[in-house]
Amino acid sequence: VMVFFLLNAYASLISNMDMEDRVSHLEQRLQLQEDEIQLLKAALADALRRLGYCEENAAVVNERNLSADLSGSNWKKL
């Protein structure tokens, strides 16, 4: 019994050490991913802000072109 008991305790110890390593490795990788996701969120928020300026600018340019067209055609009519 003592030999089986020691073998079992030893196997259990090895198994727990292996599991401990894998879980520690998972915890590290998950932390790295959390950092990458935070960077992605910040970069995307910055891109959306810049995109907002682009859209605003495009709306202004389109409005100017529209009024330029209207004044241009009025001018041609005169």
Residues in contact with its own copies by the rule CB under 8 A: 1-2, 4-5, 8-9, 12, 15-16, 19-20, 22-23, 26-27, 29-30, 33-34, 36-37, 40-41, 43-44, 47-48, 50-51, 53-55, 57-58, 61-62, 64-65
Q: Is 78 helix (H, G, I), strand (E, B) or coil?
A: coil
Task: Give the C-alpha separation, 51 to 71, whole Å.
Answer: 30
Minimum gap (Å) between residue 76 Cβ and its own copies = 11
The nearest distance, CB 70 to its own copies, in angstroms, is 14
